[in-house]
Structure 1
Amino acid sequence: MDRSQEKTVTKSLAKGLLAGLIGGLVATAAKTLAEKIYPPRTHGEPEPFTVLAEKLVGHELIGTQRVIATETLHWGFGAAAGAAYGALAEYYPQATAKDGAGFGMALSSLTHGTTLPALGISPEPEEQTTRERTSELATHVVYGMVTETVRRAVRKMLG
């Protein structure tokens, strides 16, 4: 294809954020499903978002409150991470390398490898079981790849 036939895509922060947000929501659903197939916690350990919700409110949550708080944080984080990725991809296309798998691995490292243990929300990586570490990495790769696939399709539709 010569230069005259190339299609120029104008960068748009708003379109990048929206495409990434939609991708992040779909990917959160995919990661949730992947965790049902290959769960990271098999001995009744609390979900990190549950621990975070209880730290934020300052007491134990039970029943519906616990479910709503945990799911709100889970889906909110998935949407926000996807939106940030969409914005980054808009201006730094190299971020989409490996069809989003690199994004998923980086997100796993930033959350379960460093931030969550530093906040006392999950154990340090050395204290996690091999299953927990591999499940979190694998399901974050699923998240990253689904985010990228959906982001790319939505961004194309947005023009």
Structure 2
Amino acid sequence: MSDTQLVAASHKRSLAKGLLAGLIGGLVATAAKSLMEKVYPPRTHGEPEPPAVLAEKLAGHPLDETTKTVATETIHWSFGALAGAVYGGVVEYYPAAAAKEGASFGLTLAALTHETALPAMGLSAEPEEQTTREKTSEMSSHVVFGLVTETVRRTIRKLL
């Protein structure tokens, strides 16, 4: 029996517990992803972060630096928590979603955001316009996000 099957067999499914475990995992993973991006930043030429662009689009005008920083961090952490919660809920009923210890989740999230949604919303460059550094940084930081989300989710879920 695989680890995923053992986890599924060892507890009764609970959407609430899955969402909570995933949310906690997503928050810890957001911190890990942020640290990873400090070591290997995706944007090195002053390009704005997608959450900052989104904050100003939502406001309808440029934001002062303090407001922009608060809005950017709020969006960044909220998205990480939400992504983790959704992941936790999905894994609760579809354990195969935790494949590769969460790395598959991280890569899928990167593809859905940085390769698809963010460029479509005008929040980042189109994939073909992104530098190799930006692509590899985003992919590697999202793998870290996925691995940490799964590790924390699995640990918290066992405790619930």
**TM tier, shorter chain?**
over 0.9
- Count how many residue pairs are aligned between Structure 1 and Structure 2: 153
Matching residue of 1:65: 67
Q: Which runs of 5+ in 2 are unaligned?
A: 2-8
Matching residue of 2:101: 99
The whole-number CA distance in structure 2 between the counterparts of 1:114 and 1:125 is 8
Q: Which runs of 5+ in 1 are unaligned?
A: 2-6
Matching residue of 1:12: 14
The whole-number CA distance in structure 2 between the counterparts of 1:55 and 1:133 is 24
Alpha-carbon spacing, 1:64–1:37, altered in 2? closer, same or farther (3 Å): same
Q: Deviations over 1:71-109 (max 9, x none)?
A: 000000000000000000000000001000000000000
Tell me, yes or no, if structure 1 residue 41 matches structure 2 residue 43: yes
Matches for 1:119-158 after TM superposition, within 5 Å: 119-158=121-160
Matching residue of 2:27: 25
The whole-number CA distance in structure 1 between the counterparts of 2:124 and 2:10 is 45
C-alpha displacement of 1:133? 0.3
Q: TM-score by structure 2 length?
A: 0.94
Amino acid at match of 1:45: E
The whole-number CA distance in structure 2 between the counterparts of 1:8 and 1:82 is 21
Q: TM-score by structure 1 length?
A: 0.94
The percentage of counterpart residues that share the same residue type is 69
Amino acid at match of 1:138: S
Amino acid at match of 1:43: H
C-alpha displacement of 1:22? 0.1
The whole-number CA distance in structure 2 between the counterparts of 1:148 and 1:52 is 27
Amino acid at match of 2:60: G
Amino acid at match of 1:67: T
C-alpha displacement of 1:9? 1.0
- 1:10 match: secondary structure: coil
- 2:99 match: secondary structure: helix
The whole-number CA distance in structure 2 between the counterparts of 1:8 and 1:104 is 25
- 1:60 match: secondary structure: coil
C-alpha displacement of 1:8? 3.8
> Considering only aligned residues, what root-mean-square deviation do their CA atoms show, in Å?
1.0
C-alpha displacement of 1:62? 1.4
Structure 1 runs (4+) greater than 2 angstroms displaced: none
- 1:135 match: secondary structure: helix
